[in-house]
Amino acid sequence: MPGREFFRTRTVAEALALLPDTAVTSPERVGLDDALGRIPADAVCSAHALPGFARSTVDGYAVQAADTYGASEALPAYLDVVGAVAMGSAPDVAVRTGGAVSVPTGGVLPAGADAVVMVEHTQQTMPGTVEVVRPAAPGDGAVRADEDVAIGAEIVPAGRPLRAPDLGMLAAAGVTEVNVHSRPVVGIVSTGDEVVPPDVAELAPGQVRDATTSALAGLVREAGGLPRPYGIVADDGAELEQVLRCAVDECEVVVVSAGSSVGTRDETAGAVERLGPPGIVCHGIALRPGKPTLLARCGEVPVVGLPGNPLSALVVFRLVGMPLVRRVGGCTRVPPEPGTRARLGRQVASQAGRRDVVQVGVRVDGPQPVAEPLFGASALLSVLTAADGYIVVPEEATGLDAGAEVDVNLYR
């Protein structure tokens, strides 16, 4: 079994650290319509102050605050209404001592004014005069021209997926295109003499349809990548090598389901090793399911060899592949994932030194949710589709007792 003895089993963190200097994808320009969730390649700074003018935040009267000091219901300040500001227009009148200009929410603060009194704090009993019944301080009822954003201020950081409010902020600053990392193209190679495409209606005895490619494509998209399927390759080292060479040439990350049986796993390792330097950096991760995982690099392109059965492949790809795709895609601030604290419904056994990923169903029962481990042969995809999330039994634990408090990572 060449290749297997040369590598000791790594923890998940060690394995990821073995591929530190992967290249990131080059930038491309996209419009705001296509920018949600994309990763800015550079921070974006505003060329303008926002809102760009001193602006009223209430419906009311622009005044000089000093004219309102001491005003009350019993003793209002009487001010002359000398004009009105229209939305979207420059005021054609200034505020002088003893004067007031009516202004709508969002209107420009007229010259001379330093506050806006809310209409609710005024009475208008005589035409041309307003009675102010509460004092205003300078700055009340208005924002400064650069209170939202100063000229040159960063409005969007590099490396964090763009959120909906970011798109609004970019639009407000007049930025309608953004430099984002192009989506990493992720080649997906499925292997196995027994594997046939999903559209085969009737299977011959011993055949199974390819579940891994479709499911991995979904996880690649979730991580911001573009899946590129390379079809199903028979358990033949030479043929696999040829397909992998093609994928490594055309993609930024390559994932191959490495076959479940010992022989085919070694075919995969051999084919990956022959792709060229630096080659395999890790073969075997202290993870269940997922021990026979293989990590390699061919030039700049990371290659991930996954276990052959779909459930194990998906668990490993979530823990090892998705972080890698995000990293290649320039994502340095990974968005938070949903989770919940829960009580464990049953004991879970594990081994010290190995990380166990246990699929759980979550039910609400009393004050705290209960996480019920879903056992079953690791080859069963139904365990994964039935799960609400998973728990991780860390390397240092030898299992978790029933009733223990656990952090559940919830699927979206």
By CB under 8 A, the residues from 346 to 375 that bind its own copies are none
- Tell me if residue 9 falls in helix, strand or coil: coil
Write out the binding residues for its own copies, residues 221-280 only, by CB under 8 A: 221-222, 235, 260-264
Query: Interface residues for its own copies in 382-401 (CB under 8 A)?
Result: 382, 384-385
As separate numbers, helices (DSSP H) first and strands (DSSP E) second, the chain gives 8, 28
Interaction with its own copies in 116-155: which residues (CB under 8 A)? Answer: 119, 143, 147-149, 155
The window from 62-70, 162-170, 281-289, 395-403 that contacts its own copies (CB under 8 A) reads 162-170
DSSP state at residue 107: P
**β pairing state of 348-349 and 399-400:** antiparallel
State the minimum distance, in angstroms, from the CB of residue 237 to its own copies. 15
Which one, 170 or 358, has the nearer CB to its own copies?
170
Q: Given the rule CB under 8 A, which of 1-9, 21-29, 44-52, 280-288 is the region that contacts its own copies?
A: 44-52
By CB under 8 A, name the one of 164, 277, 367, 401 that touches its own copies. Answer: 164
Give me the least distance between CB of 178 and its own copies, in Å please: 11
Smallest separation (angstroms) from its own copies to the CB of 25: 21
* Torsion angle in degrees (nearest 10) through CA of 92, 97, 101, 107: 70
Q: Is 106 in the site for its own copies (CB under 8 A)?
A: yes
Pairing relation of β-strands 294-298 and 301-306?
antiparallel
Q: Of 217 and 254, which has the nearer Cβ to its own copies? A: 217
d(CA 164, CA 167): 5
Q: Sort strands 99-103 and 122-123 into parallel, antiparallel or unpaired.
A: unpaired
In our burial notation (b when 16+ CB lie closer than 10 A, e otherwise), range 93-120 reads: eebeeebbbbbbeebbbbebbbbbbbbe
Q: How far is the CB of 94 from its own copies (least distance, A)?
A: 14
Among 165, 277, 366, 367, indicate the residue that binds its own copies (CB under 8 A): 165
Could you give the CA distance from residue 257 to residue 207 in angstroms, rounded to a whole number?
Answer: 16
In the complex, what is the shortest distance from the CB of residue 18 to its own copies, in angstroms, rounded to a whole number?
25
Tokens of 117: 């009194």
**Whole-angstrom Cα Rg for the chain:** 31
User: Which range binds its own copies by CB under 8 A, 187-195, 243-251, 293-301, 344-352?
Assistant: 187-195
Interface with its own copies: number of residues (CB under 8 A): 100
Nearer to its own copies, 281 or 379 (CB): 379
Given its phi and psi angles, is residue 290 left (phi above 0), alpha (psi -120 to 50 degrees) or beta? left
Q: Are 113 and 95 in contact (CB under 8 A)?
A: yes
Beta bridge partners of 339: 409
Q: What SS3 class is residue 287?
A: strand
- Closest to 380 measured CA to CA, from 328, 336, 315: 315
User: 304-333 mask for its own copies (x: CB under 8 A)?
Assistant: ----xxx---x-------------------
Considering only residues 284 to 303 of the shown chain, the ones binding its own copies according to CB under 8 A are: none
One of 98, 138, 231, 338 touching its own copies (CB under 8 A): 338
Per CB under 8 A, the list member of 2, 20, 277, 336 interacting with its own copies is 336
Per DSSP, the three-state class of 168 is: helix
CB of 97 to its own copies, least distance (A): 24
Give yes or no for residue 171 binding its own copies (CB under 8 A). Answer: yes
Based on the shown chain and the rule CB under 8 A, indicate whether residue 206 belongs to the binding site for its own copies. Answer: yes
- What is d(CA 115, CA 345) in angstroms, rounded to the nearest whole number? 61
CB of 68 to its own copies, least distance (A): 20
Comparison of 49 and 275: residue with beta carbon closer to its own copies: 49
